[in-house]
Amino acid sequence: MNKPHYYLGIDVGSISVNLVLTGPADEVIFEDYRRVDGHPLHATQAALGALRERIPDAGAIGGVGVTGSGRHLAGAALGADVVKNEISAHACAAVRLHPETRTVFEIGGQDSKVTIVRDRVVVDFAMNLICAAGTGSFLDSQAKRLNISIENLSAQAVKSRQPTGIAGRCTVFAESDMIHKQQTGHRQDDIVMGLCLAMARNFLSNVCVGKEILPPIVFQGGVSANLGMRRAFEEILQCELIIPRYNMVMGAYGAALLAKRAAPATSRFRGYAVCDHAIETRAFTCRDCSNDCEIIEIIDNRSVIGRSGGRCRKWESTPDRPQ
């Protein structure tokens, strides 16, 4: 009797690592969300270790997909069958859960994205990788400055009856404006809701500029858990946003779906033993042309198991490095 095939998806971002295991019907059997804390590989191994405790039989995993800014690193370490960008993974997950989706907002720790979907196909997208004013890290930093948890910031925002106007075009100006409003006597719940509104306007006017934003709109990523941000978008757009069931791990869920779609005859997954390996990285600069690419090598037990960082990809397919 054949074992049921599970599919593993991992999203390695700048703030968190998300891991999802799906079953034969694309149902989520296991999910794990944890902070990177500066060590994406360690966090990935820890998430895989948590999965090992739940599903000890790695032989049942039929495919592995990775996404996120650290996808090449994780893909080499784990033996991924599919390595996809975040746009593809998040859109795939959104459409699987809500086939009527026409717009996807995804706001993470360090970047934010909008994806335009028509008839279940991605037709346009945009990303903000420059300014932190519309990302989760800015909300985190302001919560710490106010000496409240990010959960309390979310709860306070929805209590506001008269949101304070906050200049949200820049993190520096927004913080200065928030301090000024505190000093002039504005209520804290009004200030944090004002911040959420400023971030939503910043996202819509910068990331979404020139895009046709049509409902149904699916809002996912870490910031989608913030009730103030949900309220802000809904007030500005005058429509209800869909918060998917797996909103915090949609990138990983999409990666698992894409791994299943690829349907490898035999998965390249290196097994749960990867959890216990002392995997390291090192860098060198390729001087073969004027690009001077910084190549990252992933090393397991003194052997190079993968490389990333090159523009021409020659090092990714070359077994030896320059001496």
Whether residue 265 is predicted with pLDDT greater than 90 in this model: the reply is no
What is 6-88+252-276's CATH superfamily? ATPase, nucleotide binding domain (3.30.420.40)
Residue pLDDT, tens place only, 279-291: 888 899 999 898 8
Which single residue is written with the structure tokens 């390695």? 12
Which single residue is written with the structure tokens 């090598």? 297
Taking the model in full, what pTM does it have? Answer: 0.88
CB proximity list for 290: less than 8 A, separation 6 or greater: none
Q: What is the pLDDT of residue 141?
A: 80
ω into 40 cis (within 30 of 0):
no
Residue pLDDT, tens place only, 94-144: 999 999 999 999 988 778 899 999 999 999 999 885 555 567 777 888 888
> CB 185: neighbour CB atoms within 10 A?
6
Residue pLDDT, tens place only, 17-60: 999 999 989 999 999 999 888 889 999 999 999 999 988 876 68
193 vs 229: CA distance, rounded Å:
8
* Mean pLDDT (the chain, rounded): 88
Across 151-161, b (16+ Cβ under 10 Å) vs e yields eebbbbbeebe
CATH 3.30.420.40 residue ranges for the chain: 6-88+252-276, 99-243
- Report the CATH architecture of 99-243: 2-Layer Sandwich (3.30)
User: Percentage of the chain with pLDDT > 70?
Assistant: 92
Residues 230, 243 contacting (CB under 8 angstroms):
yes
